[in-house]
A and B are shown apart, each in its own frame.
Chain A
Amino acid sequence: GQQLNQSPQSMFIQEGEDVSMNCTSSSIFNTWLWYKQDPGEGPVLLIALYKAGELTSNGRLTAQFGITRKDSFLNISASIPSDVGIYFCAGQVGFGNEKLTFGTGTRLTIIP
């Protein structure tokens, strides 16, 4: 099935640094979601975006719904050790098609 392309695939940063990652699609989605997955757990929702151009924050996390509806961005400010994990974007067409299409994932590692 279709997957969304995320970049970068992995990141190695120092604690306190800001992080940026993005997600692109060849088709339009009407909802964008960002999830974080810790080892041995299922993904946990971080931010949901419902409108093109929307910018939404959740603590140190900020996400944007691209104006073309084909991309989304996630920023993490002042990273801390618990930010380590895999970040997935997910797109939803909506309007009766509720299933999610997941991105390829960005693995975040914090260097001590």
Chain B
Amino acid sequence: SAVISQKPSRDICQRGTSLTIQCQVDSQVTMMFWYRQQPGQSLTLIATANQGSEATYESGFVIDKFPISRPNLTFSTLTVSNMSPEDSSIYLCSGGSAGAAYGYTFGSGTRLTVV
């Protein structure tokens, strides 16, 4: 299965600023996703990152707040824009190929604290 690297692993940011998180996969994958995991909570899907086109966002998440890029089959970025303390969470990248028997692999996450 694919190996996913995320960076930064953690960051402390000032409110009103933006942070871009990078996700690198060691092999080509058809599907890439971005999740948010608030403290002590489960994973909530932010969006599906589509290669070469606009991401598909879940209800409650918008492109202006969470712009996503996916220029190829191994790389994606998520930007958390105009941050507020409520954006403090772990952000996780996931990837895999549709229909694969091994499910989707996750990165180790980016722990974001907004002060």
CB pair A100 B104 closer than 8 Å: yes
Q: How far is the CA of A48 from the CA of B99 in the complex (A)?
A: 11
CB pair A45 B43 closer than 8 Å: no
Stretch at the interface among A13-21, A36-44, A65-73, A74-82: A36-44
Which A residues are CB-close (under 8 A) to B98? Answer: 98
Determine chain B's interface SS by DSSP, over half rule.
Answer: loop
CB pair B60 A88 closer than 8 Å: no
CB of A54, distance to nearest CB on chain B (Å): 13
Stretch at the interface among B64-72, B81-89, B106-114: B106-114
- Candidates A33, A41, A105; contact of B103 at CB < 8 Å: A33
CB of B111, distance to nearest CB on chain A (Å): 8
Determine chain A's interface SS by DSSP, over half rule.
Answer: strand
Interface size on A, residues (CB 8 A): 23
- Binary CB contact string for chain A from 72 to 112 against chain B (1 if under 8 A, 0 otherwise): 00000000000000001010001000111111110000000
Which A residues are CB-close (under 8 A) to B42? Answer: 3, 88, 102-105
Known: A102-B43, A103-B42. A42 touches B33 (CB 8 A): no
CB pair A43 B106 closer than 8 Å: yes
- Candidates B48, B59, B99, B109; contact of A1 at CB < 8 Å: B59
Q: How far is the CA of A45 from the CA of B1 in the complex (A)?
A: 10
CB pair B45 A99 closer than 8 Å: yes
Q: Taking CB as reference atom, which chain B residue is nearest A42?
A: B106
CB of A61, distance to nearest CB on chain B (Å): 14
CB of A16, distance to nearest CB on chain B (Å): 28
CB pair B101 A48 closer than 8 Å: yes
Which B residues are CB-close (under 8 A) to A104? Answer: 42
Which B residues are CB-close (under 8 A) to A94? Answer: 99
CB pair A40 B108 closer than 8 Å: yes
CB pair A99 B109 closer than 8 Å: no
Beyond A1-B44, A98-B31, A102-B42, 7 additional contacts (C-beta under 8 Å) are A1-B58, A1-B59, A1-B60, A3-B42, A41-B108, A42-B94, A48-B101
